[in-house]
Structure 1
Amino acid sequence: MKSLLSNLKISVPDKIYLKDPESSKLGKRIIEHSILLIDKIGFDCFTFKKLGVEIGSNESSIYRYFESKHKLLLYLTSWYWAWIEYQMVFTTYNVHNPTKKLLKAIEVVTKTIEKDDTFSHINEILLNKIIINESSKSYLTKEVDIENKQGYFIVYKRLVKRLRDMILEINADYKFASSLASTIVDGALHQHFLKAHFTSITDCDANISPSDFFKELAVNAITITK
């Protein structure tokens, strides 16, 4: 899968950025160090001025790529979901049994992330932590409906729809396929957060993973209505 992914570019909606950060060394440094800095100090404390210090560049140079830190967070979340989508597609490509296909897809979406050396300027483990802790700030805004119409969340929605379609392959009459798919995608982030911080209100631990939970939840929900 890594060799296949190496030949593909992770595509992010071009309206999110002013200049594609993948097109230059500086742009890649902006992405690389924004991940490191947001993980270190949190998105609320993150500024382009602080990022400029980290990369040894003027703050104004960062604004040539992104008009705001909100747009940068949108870029990071879109890149992450596109990366997850590619993994899902390749992992399930030759799986013909609908149930096995769904279970593999859920594993990709909900698993603990490992480093992918295909993208040397992106630490996927730290990016996953940012998605868990900060991604809701990309859409819990007054502008969410406008940004949705402009296609900022198209990658995220496409991933959910892929999962929905796999659910319907198993049971075409299941009435809540979209709701279940979005619950799996977003719920996995929440369960990883609870596992790390609020252990008393989740069953996920060293022995039970969010993947285990969502696989059982999905299969039971789909098959019980057949």
Structure 2
Amino acid sequence: MRQLFAPGADAILRLVLLIVAVLVVGGVLVAGGVSRSSYMYGVGVAPSQPVPFSHKHHVAELGLDCRYCHTSVETAATAGIPPTWTCMTCHSQIWTGSSMLAPVRESLANDRPLHWVRVNRLPDYVYFNHSIHVTKGIGCSSCHGAMNTMQLTYRANAFTMQFCLNCHRNPAQFIRTPDQVWNMEWSSPLDQAKLGRLLVLKNHIRPAAQLTDCSICHR
């Protein structure tokens, strides 16, 4: 009987199948890694804004408190974007002729708000409330990074489900005393484990009973 395949055909087939398997598995791993990467979430990227606002200048150098501009952060779900007249509280007196601030002056004169590009955004199916976090002791920098060092605002963290769960499962590692919530340079003290447990109890936070329930974020 005539032989249909060369003597080495079986080895070649096995090699081809192995290469295909490696490529498939490798492709899945690469795709998964890229989809979860900081690049895909825009971490570290400062989008172009109508005015190049510098948190570093206003917060670190001038000493403005977060709540001066983000007035609803302690009482509402959203932190709030300052209206133009908030900017003009100062800039009607200083840098009044700056070309960089022309869009701000035009906004006030025409009674049209500036269209800021949102930097931090969660999917529509995720509910987030700023007020409950800051009043319970979670500081701004835990999510938004050291805003006082940002010349231009960028996203400091990829707000994945895992990012939120890391805190919801163990808030004691991040929780602060009220006077430190607005401190952009805060770092956990040596006794954070003990202090965190006390603050969790004091603020009536129940990680196991509430914070890991799906309905907390998906309503």
Q: Same fold (TM over 0.5)?
A: no
Give the TM-score normalised by structure 2: 0.29
Q: Rg: which structure is higher? A: 2
Give the TM-score normalised by structure 1: 0.28
Relative to its length, the structure with more helix (as a share) is 1
